Structure 1
């Protein structure tokens, strides 16, 4: 286990262990934790990623905040988090975001299902064994653990669970959503069977747009960008100039900064314990995104598909969503699509500028 930190006195917010700290969602969760005055211990997969993370938050961190990183190369290994939680045994909270995302697998179990499920149960076991001061764990789940394609509900909320089976999980088109379902199920099962001192909340976010992480290496924009934002990058880069891609299968979005705030509030608000939070800001489509870019960035007009080819493809009978719990319990006021897209484009253009220099 490797530990490196930016030192400071303890902040008033308490101490949080954040897994997967250089991921898209986690990087914004880290920003939000720092804004709220927490000390943070971050798990990363390599020394390089940890150093890059520390460099990216150096100007954001308050002088009295402590930020450390630990290298955990394989979260699916038995006891992967044991040494971390033995070392940092005075934690107040844990936020677990680390989980693989990819759509093609040579081995679905080894490459996706095990890291998602064993990573989740592993961190819970380690907390239970070695971190007695932890009060709550927040897990980044997904709307994939809620939705039931193709037999959709009329309206989805936190009461819904995906019906994907383990047998279906062996098929690449179902592996990722199965990993999110079974990982989240394993967490709730752990609480019901073990009855640890801590409680649990999960964040089930849909397609997530928003500014790129500061720690994203500028040499890997196309490879490193998250899947949801990739469609915005493709529009800005002219990759849809000849024809806009279909939006399906998902037409709901949320801004990553709203997701990050939800993690922090789910962590600290007593009434959030024991609850799932379905995070949806509204509906989107690729043509709607193209229209927002055309309106706000006339200099990108030549990169965008012809306006006549941008007919909105959101189905009239699309299923609805109920995000009332996140508003009432967590106080989330969702950013609209235009704000989210504009801020995402700004960050993409900034990164492109860095690549040119």
Structure 2
């Protein structure tokens, strides 16, 4: 049996989920990783943090060009065994939804998929980081009669997506994933394809050095509550499904280990529902925070599962075969890291 390490090309390597995925790939001892980043500065920072001879970088500045990945794949394509495409714009302060969110997501997926087909003859599996937003219907989130699973698609149209950045982001994830499935059929590819559809990813940053005053979108919800005042109001409108970032990373890797099992699958990563109240309930169990941050109405989110649309991801859980990290551990690990970096732990 060959013990030679397989090579994974991972786009958007500096991202929150991507860094955890790179870490788990390297820690397994089974893979070498070629990560794409937008700048030499990002590459140097990651190289310093990971300090691994099995990690190298290529620079892809703008994924909104369909040929953005061509040069990298021309150079390394024959070495690549797997592609993990995590790069996609995540921003909600955009001025042009189509230009800033939808086009880069769609063209980025098109470009890296076509480059994989054209220049990576030994490719065994292609994994795309999609999102639960490609599945959930945000307009019916409070409809408990709505049941969703791995076959569901967000019904949002292109026209509706242009109304605001949140809807634009939902559509961008949907169209990016659908583009990959469509190209897979049109090009009659011989490698496996899997989509990873995480809900709100929570948990610590891969490295303490990534803890800054403002964090990635999902963790910033926790960060704000850690820095809230005891009399602060709780934003009861913030509710959603959750998953730990370390489980998301692991889900990206499982298809590489068993391509046949995961080929054609969408993995809907959710470990239940939560709200801002759920977060502060957990944070107030931490001695360094208790009595100093918002309290809200304790346990008023305990019945949240019965108030929102139903997510059935039993198929995903069966395929993956591991138990998801609890919301409590995700929140406490996130808080502990932030407090440590701030010298409060």
TM-score (norm 2): 0.91
Deviates more, 1:39-48 or 1:106-115: 106-115
Which residue of structure 1 aligns with residue 276 of structure 2?
A: 286
Describe the shift of the 1:133–1:233 C-alpha distance in structure 2 as closer, same or farther (beyond 3 A): same
Q: Per-residue deviation at 1:342? A: 0.9
Tell whether the 8 Å contact from 1:208 to 1:254 is kept in structure 2 after alignment: yes
Q: Which of 187, 191, 195 is 1:194 aligned to? A: 187
Describe the shift of the 1:11–1:346 C-alpha distance in structure 2 as closer, same or farther (beyond 3 A): farther
Q: Which of 121, 132, 138 is 1:149 aligned to? A: 138
- C-alpha distance after superposition, 1:152-208 (max 9, x if no partner): 563211110011111112111410000001111111000111112322100000011
Residue 323, structure 1, aligned to residue 313, structure 2: yes
- C-alpha distance after superposition, 1:14-68 (max 9, x if no partner): 110011001011011111111222100000111111111111111xx4xxx5210
Q: Per-residue deviation at 1:222? A: 3.0
Tell whether the 8 Å contact from 2:11 to 2:87 is kept in structure 1 after alignment: yes
User: Where do residues 256-271 of structure 1 align in structure 2 (5 Å cutoff)?
Assistant: 256-269=245-258, 270-271=260-261
Tell whether the 8 Å contact from 2:198 to 2:270 is kept in structure 1 after alignment: yes
Which residue of structure 1 aligns with residue 207 of structure 2?
A: 214
Deviates more, 1:251-260 or 1:306-315: 306-315
Q: Per-residue deviation at 1:74? A: 0.2
The structure 1 segments of at least 4 consecutive aligned residues displaced by more than 6 Å after TM superposition are none
Q: Per-residue deviation at 1:317? A: 2.9
Q: Per-residue deviation at 1:247? A: 4.3
- C-alpha distance after superposition, 1:265-318 (max 9, x if no partner): 0222121011101000122121121111111x2221243113547733837332
Which residue of structure 2 aligns with residue 5 of structure 1?
A: none
Tell whether the 8 Å contact from 2:200 to 2:241 is kept in structure 1 after alignment: yes
User: Where do residues 311-350 of structure 1 align in structure 2 (5 Å cutoff)?
Assistant: 311-312=300-301, 314=304, 316-350=306-340
Give the distance between the partners of 1:11 and 1:351, measured in 2 at CA. Answer: 39
Tell whether the 8 Å contact from 1:201 to 1:267 is kept in structure 2 after alignment: no
Tell whether the 8 Å contact from 1:240 to 1:305 is kept in structure 2 after alignment: yes
Tell whether the 8 Å contact from 1:208 to 1:253 is kept in structure 2 after alignment: yes
Residue 234, structure 1, aligned to residue 220, structure 2: no
User: Where do residues 1-357 of structure 1 align in structure 2 (5 Å cutoff)?
Assistant: 12-37=4-29, 38-58=31-51, 61=52, 65-89=53-77, 90-151=79-140, 154-172=146-164, 173-214=166-207, 216-217=209-210, 221-223=212-214, 225-238=215-228, 241-248=231-238, 250-269=239-258, 270-295=260-285, 297-306=286-295, 308=297, 311-312=300-301, 314=304, 316-353=306-343
Tell whether the 8 Å contact from 2:273 to 2:305 is kept in structure 1 after alignment: no
Tell whether the 8 Å contact from 1:266 to 1:330 is kept in structure 2 after alignment: no
Tell whether the 8 Å contact from 2:202 to 2:244 is kept in structure 1 after alignment: yes
Describe the shift of the 1:260–1:154 C-alpha distance in structure 2 as closer, same or farther (beyond 3 A): same
Q: Per-residue deviation at 1:11? A: 7.1
Tell whether the 8 Å contact from 2:284 to 2:295 is kept in structure 1 after alignment: no
Give the distance between the partners of 1:349 and 1:202, measured in 2 at CA. Answer: 34
SS at match of 2:98: helix
Describe the shift of the 1:332–1:215 C-alpha distance in structure 2 as closer, same or farther (beyond 3 A): same
Give the distance between the partners of 2:251 and 2:313, measured in 1 at CA. Answer: 12
Q: State the superposition RMSD in angstroms.
A: 2.1
SS at match of 1:17: strand
**Unaligned 5+ residue runs, structure 2?**
none
Describe the shift of the 1:348–1:55 C-alpha distance in structure 2 as closer, same or farther (beyond 3 A): same
